[in-house]
Amino acid sequence: MIPEFFEFFNPTKVIYEAGVVKDLKPELDVIGITRYFVISDRAIHGLGLVKKVTDGLESAGIEITGMYLEVTQDAVLENVKLCAEAIKASGAEGIVAVGGGSVIDTAKAANILFSEGGDLVEDYSGANMLTRPLKPFIAIPTTAGTGSEVTKVAVIYDTENKEKLAFPDKYLLPNLAVLDPELALSLPPQLTAATGMDALTHAIEAYVGIEASPISDAFAVGAIELIMKNLVAATEHGDDIEARGAMLIAATMAGISFSHSMCGCVHGMAHATGAHFRVPHGVANGILLPYGMEYNFEEIKEKLARLAPAMGVETAGLTEDESAKKAIDAVKELIDSLNRLGALPKRLRDAGVPEDGLEIIAEGAVNDGTSFYNPREVDAEEILPYIQKAY
Ligand SMILES: [Fe+2]
């Protein structure tokens, strides 16, 4: 179905090549500045990935004015502040983020303070608070998951209020996203599986979401096909550069899709699970995805039936209901495969969620911003049984 109105805006240039971080000069020349500040975390730095990038930048004539490596599992407010101060003090003209979603989101939010000043929560809470482009920003993902390299949102955790704050704004879209599968080769199986399930959740929620358009659908379907074919291989054989590359591309496509069509109740539940019980975002999504699809079943079965072939389901002779159920089964089978590899817990209890926490997750899903975009109204009492199934 074609919506009466939609818009599609994707100005981030995406480049893909194994080893491309060694040769970014042509792209850097287009952006035109020469002094960059690098943001990453200790783990990625320890793996030598930051050095690969900074070597590449320096050989292209770039001066690295400083680095901030203290990004934690979640992007948190305190780190955004410290990071922005370090960038300002360094005299940088632009930012390079090397890492997963937390690094890229920290960098996006820090770029607001670096470019515009002020206080993130007091001055920029709400959507589209920026009025002009920020300083140049290059995102180099080392995980295939959040798609933050092509999305307009930064999600920052407020540790004091146990709340995830979303800052959606078109000016947060990076100037350049660099997809280099060589940077993903050392990602451990657990992170590969969890971030891959995050990307799959983006694509599926975007596809069935109420804001979907034919353009966001195309990116979602492309992402889903690549993930269903490559996530197990990338998890099981970390050095499979083709599977790594396919997953990086898939995460970016899923990011473009959900940046336009938004996410739904799976993300709502996952945000609450992460905020209250510190379950990593991708793990929470991976566990909750099939149950969120079941919660929405009546509203999305026609779309799920259409999606089934992209998920590897043979739909000839099946009714719409049967095809849609098989699409959910395909997700469950993928989760089973990842679970057998020891890479993904299947139940909330195995991820450290206490049984008396399930109602908190249901309430959290209702209050999460994603509930506005879910195909079925998110009601705490009605969604609770599905969270219990995931327990
Ligand atoms: Fe996500």
Q: What string of DSSP letters covers 234-254? A: HHH-TT-HHHHHHHHHHHHHH
CA-CA distance, 274 to 270, in Å (whole number)?
A: 6
Nearest 5°: phi and psi at 343? -105, -15
Nearest 5°: phi and psi at 245? -65, -45
- Separation of 253 CA from ligand 1 center, angstroms? 13
- Separation of 66 CA from ligand 1 center, angstroms? 29
CA-CA distance, 293 to 288, in Å (whole number)?
A: 9
- Separation of 202 CA from ligand 1 center, angstroms? 6
277 within 8 A of 288, measured Cβ to Cβ: no
- Separation of 368 CA from ligand 1 center, angstroms? 13
CA-CA distance, 254 to 207, in Å (whole number)?
A: 10
pLDDT at 164: 81
Q: Which two tokens stand for residue 74?
A: 């979640």
Give the type of residue at 25: K
- Separation of 261 CA from ligand 1 center, angstroms? 13
Strand partners, 182: none
SS3 at position 13:
strand
In the chain the domains, ranked by start, together with CATH numbers, are 13-183 (3.40.50.1970), 189-390 (1.20.1090.10)
CA-CA distance, 127 to 125, in Å (whole number)?
A: 7
Give per-residue burial for 369-387: e unless 16+ CB within 10 Å, then b. Answer: bbbebbbbebebeebbebb
Residue at token pair 């993130």: 120
- Separation of 318 CA from ligand 1 center, angstroms? 31
224 within 8 A of 310, measured Cβ to Cβ: yes
Q: Which two tokens stand for residue 320?
A: 């719409």
Nearest 5°: phi and psi at 129? -90, -10
- Separation of 61 CA from ligand 1 center, angstroms? 35
Sheet architecture: strand order including 13-16: 13-16, 176-179, 137-141, 94-99, 35-39, 63-68
355 within 8 A of 349, measured Cβ to Cβ: yes
pLDDT at 162: 78
- Separation of 21 CA from ligand 1 center, angstroms? 25
- Separation of 31 CA from ligand 1 center, angstroms? 29
- Separation of 155 CA from ligand 1 center, angstroms? 10
pLDDT at 126: 87
Question: What is the mean pLDDT of each successive set of 10 residues along the chain, which is 391 residues long?
Answer: 92 98 96 98 96 97 98 93 98 98 97 96 92 98 96 91 88 98 96 98 97 97 98 98 98 96 95 92 97 98 97 96 98 98 98 97 94 96 98 98
- Separation of 89 CA from ligand 1 center, angstroms? 32
Task: Taking the CA atoms of 1, 202, 234 and 67 in sequence, report the sign of the dihedral they define.
Answer: positive
- Separation of 268 CA from ligand 1 center, angstroms? 10
- Separation of 270 CA from ligand 1 center, angstroms? 8
- Separation of 107 CA from ligand 1 center, angstroms? 17
Q: Which two tokens stand for residue 381?
A: 């009492």
CA 346 to chain centre: 20
- Separation of 281 CA from ligand 1 center, angstroms? 7
- Separation of 130 CA from ligand 1 center, angstroms? 23
- Separation of 301 CA from ligand 1 center, angstroms? 22
366 within 8 A of 378, measured Cβ to Cβ: yes
pLDDT at 388: 98
- Separation of 193 CA from ligand 1 center, angstroms? 13
- Separation of 90 CA from ligand 1 center, angstroms? 32
Element (H, E) at 334: helix 320-340
- Separation of 282 CA from ligand 1 center, angstroms? 7
- Separation of 325 CA from ligand 1 center, angstroms? 23
Q: What is the DSSP letter of 162?
A: T
CA-CA distance, 116 to 130, in Å (whole number)?
A: 9
- Separation of 267 CA from ligand 1 center, angstroms? 6
